[in-house]
Amino acid sequence: NIMMNRSNLITDEVGQFLENHNLPKLTQEETDNMNRLISIKEIESIINKHLKQKAPGSDGLTREFYQTFKEQLYQFFVISFKR
């Protein structure tokens, strides 16, 4: 299968690149933290604190949009950020 062979080739190339460079690695604690689910509380914190005084993102949505629809958006974001 051509697609599988190409995929394996790319995977091998990436593996070789990573082996040839001394890149930092995540600790197990950092890996676990990156893989955990994002909580509604974290999403709420981002909307309430971190979006203050920010220009709209590439989607054009403003902080006011997120503030207005935050209750409807919380669950959407939790589901979207699941692995």
CB 34 within 8 A of CB 26: yes
User: What per-residue confidence (pLDDT) applies to 37?
Assistant: 84
CA 83, 25, 15 angle in degrees (round to 5)? 80
Report the chain (83 residues): mean pLDDT per 10 consecutive residues: 60 84 89 87 80 69 83 84 68
User: What per-residue confidence (pLDDT) applies to 32?
Assistant: 92
Alpha helices by DSSP H, listed for the chain, are: 2-20, 28-35, 40-45, 63-68, 70-80
User: What per-residue confidence (pLDDT) applies to 29?
Assistant: 96
